[in-house]
Amino acid sequence: MRFKVTHTTRYRYKTPASESYAELRVWPQNGPTQKILSHKLEISPAVPVDHYTDYFGNKVEYFSIPFRHSELSVNAVGEVETREGPDLTHVLETPVGDARQILASQPIGIFDFIQNTELVPFHRIQNEESLPRFRDAETLGEAVHGLNTWIYKNFAYSPGSTDIGTPLPTVLETHQGVCQDFAHLMLAVLRMQGIPARYVSGYIEPYDPTKPGQEMTGAAASHAWVEVYLPGGYWYGLDPTNNQAAGLRHVRVASGRDYNDVAPMRGAYKGAQDQRLQVIVTLKRRRPRKTASTR
Amino acid sequence: MTAARKKRKYAHFKAANSPRDELTHPAAGEASPYAPVLEIIESLSPVELHERQDRLERSARDVGIHFGVVEEGKPREADWRLDVLPRIIPRDEWELLRKGILQRARAFDAFIRDMHGGQDILRQRALPHGVALGDPAFQRPLTTVEVPGGEYCHIGAFDLVRGEDGMWRVLENHMATSFGLSFVMQNRRMLAQAFPELFQSMDISPVAPFITQFSENLRAASGQSNPHIVLLTRGETNQAYFDESFLARQLGIAMVRPADLLIREGKVFLKTIRGLEQVDVIYRRLASAAIDPIAFAESGLPGIPGIVNCVRNGTVRFVNALGCGVADNRALLRFSRQLIGFYLQEHAILDSVPTFNCGDRDQFDYILSNKDEMVLKPIQDSYTLFRYLGGKQLPEKRSHLIRLARKWPHLFVAQPYLHPSQLPCYASDGFKSHSVYLRVFFQLGEKPSVLPGGLTRQSWGSHRDNPLTIMSEGMKDTWVPAQPFEYASTPGTVTLNPDEYSISSRLAEGLYWTGRYLERMQNTARQLNILETLRWDQLGRAAQRSYWPLWKAVAAANGQSGWSKRKSPPKDTLSLTRALVLQANEPASILSSATAAYMGAQHIRDSISPEVWQVLSEFYWFLQDAARQPKTSRTRLREICQRIVDDAARLAGTADRTMLHDDSWQFFRIGSFVERAQGTATVVREVLSWVMANRAEGNNDEADLTSLLRLLTSLDAYRREFRSRAYLERVVNLLLQNACNPSSVSHCLRQLRYAIGTLSVTDRVNAPTTLDETVDKIIARVESLPLQRLMPSSVRELDHGVQESAAAPRPEMKFILESLTRELELLHERLEDTFFSHQTEFYPDRQLPLDWQPDE
């Protein structure tokens, strides 16, 4: 499927900021499940943009605005074609016990994805009895999908109830959150059981123009989900917010240990006292079918 | 040697009888390397020896005062203790040590490079990967930043102990930021001054060439002929800060804090009052984690946003390169042998002391069951572990440490109590044996070298639970006998050029704001005191009406738009006074201004005289106490205001007499003149606009001009100048145009102009010149305002007076005064742009000129 993605971030400062500096992670990457057809970044006020590839393979763009400005807007526009990834049915049939053994002798590359991190401090919820535990005999597929469904069923999606600073134990206690919280929770449960997993930021097509009435959750903002590391070196995407595997309607942008590694925009500014932030994300199918164009 | 002679020989040392003492118990069959030194010490009587130690302590005190630390607002002398007896390391022992240190340094440097590159040591499983990857000092973002020539560690140090068996072992690596180099230099100098005869007893390898070489290495690191090098410090007034300021002087480089640096177009600049100076090499003294809040978001520390990307683009270079901290990971200590073997294919010359890692379950169990014989340590310093420690310093109590270690086992190690060799240290009643530790400094690069000697530290206690601070329990000069040919190379001298760099923008800005806040505080206090003396609650309605514009003016000058917009006077003003005196969340209150001045001054503490600091902290604490009392009475509020007015005068006098009248002083003055000019202009604007509105409505109420003059401390000036009752036009003339009246806008601007003229920024291109011109223009505008025409006098015989009916101020006065206050605000922005934030240097055309000349 082809999508046009626009991701606009706008800061308005009450009194002008004298300098701003920011790093962006809004550039989708080529991978087994998608191909990037174009990417464009517009910054206002216009300043030169530089980029590099980070430790986790994400493309990072950065810029600085060294003069007074009362508004800063960053507009990333890209075209992406999503594809079916490799068929992992066989790998998912590996029993959890076997998988653990294989993973234990894995290379150093996955070390980062079984650790406690600032936003995935699984040591803090390790003793929670309500959390699903994987049995050695069940297949990896059953286990991770079971976890996916468990989160979907037991936690209410309620935008505004949490922000990125909400700690994991609070999410567990209140049984509500947004996609970021669900992704972090899922990472915690996976990692505490020795299954490596990473955080994925991206976008989701909120509704299928061919099937009205089946809206997905997580629309109108950046979406987040999880990828589980499978024996053989595959990464398998799971979206606990929508109780499904990541598919053609998921556009990946960046991945890392937790949200901190993939924050779409991280910046600092000087001088201004007060700022207002506005983020608008749109995702549109290209060459939409008739049903879509009537909307 | 006869028994009697031996006894006499060790007369001073009879209490230093520990079997581990290097001096009194030399290894069997060896001559003591201390013999020549002992000869001299033994020739002194106890009184003479005491006198030598006194002399040392005096010179240590001088150093301590010079670099006095500040704790809880009070300057405290540094605890610099240097022993009369140096430590001597025999030449052959030193040679082995030197080789071992260089070997270890090269191997760990290779490890740093490997961790940020291919991680071969992990791939080949020569090291458990959790030990290296679980270290918070290993910053993933740095793996994608190239370091020129792969030269990570340029300068570093190892802490060593000499065991009972005579073997040297490494206790800790310090390859990121190594403290204490300057102490070695200072100790050598102080001992040579206090005890010159000692130095005649043997030829000692000099320590100074090491610093000269480091200076050359820093220059070489830039790849440029004349690089701009700065020392980046956290800037806390602690022992490390001493070390840094010494080094910066010895190296002839500027000492800066993160706030002094600025990123523009991918380059790093130092903000000075002369403008922006591009920085090529940064000798850093803080952990990588505290360098860039954008690149290292997870560390939770502030820094210089974007600087890592400047390194990435090669426009600036850090010494040591970012990421060197991975070599200081104490969990690596037990693998040092493997590490040296892996990278150098050599046998390790120096071992580490036994170290157990909590991250390994078996070792942790062992530690827990032997915890009374071990020291528990984190694997990195508390800045690197900031997030794990909940933003706090490391706890001192062992039980708290163990709790933390249970939570984060991979972040802790334990070392069994050591029994390091001992040396006699002098106390008033003779020498006693104490354990000694040695920090040895090395440099890598083209010509790797080790500083001959190092920093020997004493430890009073038998065991150490806490890490040694740099000099807490005393130091010893450390001697390595010179090789005969070594004297051919005379110690190099380091060129000092302290005048090369002007004061930093941060310092200038700090003083500027301190000046402004103090002036604001003083003005508010005086004005409220005067207004409250009028006893508002006992005034008649008519009197209230005549004072109301003054209240409004004061409220407006303090940003109280709610009150200043109010047309008719309120019943009482007590709540406004309370807010403006003691309310902490009121930005213009006396309390807030004093707090801002105090906090601001704290950051530039080293540029403010202790006397000024004393006055400042006195009234700051006085106000803090006062603010804690509930329901302050009117009388009490007036007392507070009076005290602040008095203290502000005391502070101004103290500052004038105790501070150096240099560039920084001028910024302090500039700040207060800007504030005063703005205050006067605002009050005049408010009163005049009230008068004009009032007249337009046909009311006969007049503002009380005498009180207005008192508010702006100009009543006496008015009487001397005019010898008449207060007329509006004369009052305005005095407050705007009379350059002799210290409260007038004209006076403030002229003083400001003078202060800018004295700044030593003249060799710099245009920036201050245009600022001069700006101020000149405002002065000219203010002083040439045709007030006689704009505000005709109502008294015919006076000042070319006109008919009373035509005597009202002309409507354009309102616009003129509004423009004037706006212009003064812009002047502040111009000052900021020119000296502090340097906006103009890159985008001069973004500054909008403003024109407010009245129509002729």
Q: Which residue of B has its CA nearest to A259?
A: B298
Q: Which residue of A has its CA nearest to B307?
A: A21
**Distance from the B305 Cα atom to the nearest Cα atom in chain A, whole angstroms:** 7
First to last CA, chain A: 19
Query: Residues A231-260: what's their mean pLDDT?
Result: 92
Which two structure tokens, joined as six digits, stand for B806? Answer: 């035509």
Pair B188, B147: CB distance under 8 Å: no
Query: Do B106 and B204 belong together in one domain?
Result: yes
Query: Do B686 and B795 belong together in one domain?
Result: yes
- Position B121 in a domain: yes
Looking at beta carbons, which residues of chain B come within 8 Å of A118? Answer: 298, 387
> Cα dihedral angle (A183, A188, A190, A193), rounded to 10 degrees?
-170
Query: Residues B751-763: what's their mean pLDDT?
Result: 81
Task: Write down the pLDDT at residue B841.
Answer: 55
Query: Do A132 and A224 belong together in one domain?
Result: yes
Side-chain half-sphere of A88: how many Cα atoms within 13 Å?
24
- Position B131 in a domain: yes
pLDDT tens column, A165-178:
678 888 888 898 88
Query: Do B445 and B547 belong together in one domain?
Result: no
Query: Do B670 and B600 belong together in one domain?
Result: yes
Q: Which residue of B has its CA nearest to A61?
A: B309
Weakest mean pLDDT among B302-311, B358-367, B721-730: B721-730
- What are the strands, taking DSSP E only, across B428-518? 430-443, 449-450, 455-459, 475-476, 478-479
Measured from the Cβ of residue B702, the count of other Cβ atoms closer than 10 Å reads 14
Task: Write down the pLDDT at residue B847.
Answer: 37
Residue B415 confidence class, pLDDT cut points 50, 70, 90? very high
Say yes or no for a CB contact (<8 Å) between A111 and B306.
no
Residues of A within an 8 Å Cβ radius of B: 18-19, 21-23, 48, 50, 52-56, 62, 64, 66-68, 107-108, 111-112, 115, 117-118, 123, 260-261, 263, 266-268, 270-271
Looking at beta carbons, which residues of chain A come within 8 Å of B313? Answer: 50
Cα B750 versus chain centre, distance: 32
Task: Write down the pLDDT at residue B37.
Answer: 87
Residue at B307: amino acid letter: I
Does residue B237 register a pLDDT over 90? no
**Interface test mutation site (partner A, options B145, B261, B294, B843, max chain A beta carbons within 10 A):** B294
Candidates A106, A105, A95, A199; CA nearest to A143 is A95
Query: Do B480 and B602 belong together in one domain?
Result: no
In this predicted complex, what is the ipTM? Answer: 0.84
Cα B60 to Cα B78: distance, rounded to the nearest angstrom: 8
Of residues A225 and B467, more confidence is placed in A225
Pair B149, B321: CB distance under 8 Å: no
> Scanning the structure block, which residue is given the tokens 């240099």?
B662
Q: Which of B499, B516, B548 is the last residue of a domain?
A: B499
Query: Do A60 and A95 belong together in one domain?
Result: no
Packing angle, helices B745-758 and B767-783, rounded to 10:
160
pLDDT tens column, B157-181:
999 999 888 899 999 999 999 888 9
B640: phi then psi, degrees, rounded to nearest 5? -60, -45
Query: Residues B274-299: what's their mean pLDDT?
Result: 86
Domain that holds residue B228: 61-69+89-353+418-499
Cα B723 to Cα B719: distance, rounded to the nearest angstrom: 5
Does residue B276 register a pLDDT over 60? yes
Cα A158 to Cα A161: distance, rounded to the nearest angstrom: 6
Of residues A209 and A24, more confidence is placed in A24
**Distance from the B730 Cα atom to the nearest Cα atom in chain A, whole angstroms:** 38
Say yes or no for a CB contact (<8 Å) between A21 and B263.
yes
Query: Do A136 and A96 belong together in one domain?
Result: yes
Residue A159 confidence class, pLDDT cut points 50, 70, 90? confident
Cα A278 to Cα B841: distance, rounded to the nearest angstrom: 31
Query: Do B716 and B842 belong together in one domain?
Result: yes
Cα A80 to Cα A37: distance, rounded to the nearest angstrom: 5
DSSP β-bridge partners for residue A62: A23, A50
Query: Residues B591-620: what's their mean pLDDT?
Result: 84
Pair A20, A247: CB distance under 8 Å: no
Contact partners, residue B776, CB within 8 Å, separation at least 6: B753
Task: Write down the pLDDT at residue B73.
Answer: 42
Residue B249 confidence class, pLDDT cut points 50, 70, 90? confident
Does residue A288 register a pLDDT over 60? no
Split into its structural domains, chain A has a count of 2
Q: β-strand A19-24 against A265-270: which pairing, if any?
A: antiparallel
Cα A77 to Cα B499: distance, rounded to the nearest angstrom: 52
- Position B732 in a domain: yes
Q: Which of B474, B499, B524 is the last residue of a domain?
A: B499
Candidates B655, B673, B387; CA nearest to B519 is B673
Side-chain half-sphere of B243: how many Cα atoms within 13 Å?
22
- Position B186 in a domain: yes
Candidates B642, B417, B425; CA nearest to B526 is B642
Which two structure tokens, joined as six digits, stand for B234? Answer: 């956290």
Looking at beta carbons, which residues of chain B come within 8 Å of A115? Answer: 134
Cα B752 to Cα A209: distance, rounded to the nearest angstrom: 68
Cα B701 to Cα B699: distance, rounded to the nearest angstrom: 6
Query: Do A209 and A288 belong together in one domain?
Result: no
Domain harbouring A61, CATH code: 2.60.40.2250
pTM here?
A: 0.77
pLDDT tens column, B498-542:
444 567 888 888 899 999 999 999 999 999 988 888 777 777 777
Cα B649 to Cα B559: distance, rounded to the nearest angstrom: 24
- Position B363 in a domain: no
Looking at beta carbons, which residues of chain A come within 8 Å of B262? Answer: 19, 66
Pair B235, B257: CB distance under 8 Å: yes
Residue B85 confidence class, pLDDT cut points 50, 70, 90? very high
Cα A292 to Cα A288: distance, rounded to the nearest angstrom: 6
Residue at B453: amino acid letter: G
Helices (runs of H) and strands (runs of E) counted in chain A: 7, 15
Query: Do B495 and B510 belong together in one domain?
Result: no
Of residues B177 and B6, more confidence is placed in B177
Contact partners, residue A233, CB within 8 Å, separation at least 6: none
Packing angle, helices B574-582 and B590-603, rounded to 10:
10
Query: Residues B370-380: what's their mean pLDDT?
Result: 89
Task: Write down the pLDDT at residue B289.
Answer: 83
Q: Which of B471, B499, B527 is the last residue of a domain?
A: B499
**Distance from the B661 Cα atom to the nearest Cα atom in chain A, whole angstroms:** 30
Cα A191 to Cα B267: distance, rounded to the nearest angstrom: 41
Helices of type H across B494-606: 505-533, 541-557, 561-564, 574-582, 590-603
Nearest CB to B140 within list A48, A55, A267? A55
Query: Do A154 and A43 belong together in one domain?
Result: no
- Position B206 in a domain: yes
Cα angle vertex B195, ends B192, B201, to 5°? 85
Task: Write down the pLDDT at residue A295.
Answer: 38
pLDDT tens column, A12-56:
887 788 778 899 999 998 999 999 999 999 999 988 898 999 989
Task: Write down the pLDDT at residue B673.
Answer: 95
% of chain B beyond a pLDDT of 90: 32
Helices of type H across B420-540: 505-533
Residue B849 confidence class, pLDDT cut points 50, 70, 90? very low
Query: Do A165 and A61 belong together in one domain?
Result: no
Query: Do B260 and B187 belong together in one domain?
Result: yes
Query: Do B480 and B566 belong together in one domain?
Result: no
Query: Do A29 and A171 belong together in one domain?
Result: no
Which of A218-232, B266-280, B606-620, B635-649 holds the top average pLDDT?
B635-649
Task: Write down the pLDDT at residue B792.
Answer: 78
Q: Which residue of B has its CA nearest to A52?
A: B144
Residue B493 confidence class, pLDDT cut points 50, 70, 90? very low
Query: Do A119 and A174 belong together in one domain?
Result: yes
**Interface test mutation site (partner B, options A118, A164, A273, max chain B beta carbons within 10 A):** A118
Domain harbouring A195, CATH code: 3.10.620.30
Say yes or no for a CB contact (<8 Å) between A268 and B265.
no
Say yes or no for a CB contact (<8 Å) between A111 and B130.
yes
Cα B83 to Cα B457: distance, rounded to the nearest angstrom: 10
Say yes or no for a CB contact (<8 Å) between A267 and B407.
no
Pair A5, A219: CB distance under 8 Å: no
Query: Do B472 and B583 belong together in one domain?
Result: no
Task: Write down the pLDDT at residue B499.
Answer: 44
Domain that holds residue A7: 2-82+263-293
Looking at beta carbons, which residues of chain A come within 8 Å of B295? Answer: 23
B381: phi then psi, degrees, rounded to nearest 5? -70, 170
Does residue B489 register a pLDDT over 60? no
Does residue A294 register a pLDDT over 60? no
Provide the number of CB pairs (under 8 Å) joining chain A to chain B.
Answer: 81
Task: Write down the pLDDT at residue B800.
Answer: 63
Query: Do B438 and B349 belong together in one domain?
Result: yes
Task: Write down the pLDDT at residue B7.
Answer: 45
Say yes or no for a CB contact (<8 Å) between A52 and B141.
no
- Position B547 in a domain: yes
pLDDT tens column, B30-44:
677 888 888 888 888
pLDDT averaged over every residue in chain B: 83
Query: Do A181 and A271 belong together in one domain?
Result: no
Residue B832 confidence class, pLDDT cut points 50, 70, 90? confident
Does residue B193 register a pLDDT over 60? yes
Looking at beta carbons, which residues of chain A come within 8 Å of B387? Answer: 118
Q: β-strand B455-459 against A250-256: which pairing, if any?
A: unpaired
Query: Do B490 and B567 belong together in one domain?
Result: no
Say yes or no for a CB contact (<8 Å) between A67 and B298.
no
Say yes or no for a CB contact (<8 Å) between B263 and A54.
no
Q: Which residue of B has its CA nearest to A20?
A: B305
Split into its structural domains, chain B has a count of 2
Looking at beta carbons, which residues of chain B come within 8 Å of A260? Answer: 297-298
Cα A62 to Cα A51: distance, rounded to the nearest angstrom: 6
% of chain A beyond a pLDDT of 90: 42
Looking at beta carbons, which residues of chain B come within 8 Å of A68? Answer: 839, 846
- Position B412 in a domain: no
Query: Residues B208-236: what's their mean pLDDT?
Result: 85
Query: Residues A278-284: what's their mean pLDDT?
Result: 86
Q: What one-character DSSP code corresponds to residue B438?
A: E
Query: Residues B746-774: what's their mean pLDDT?
Result: 78
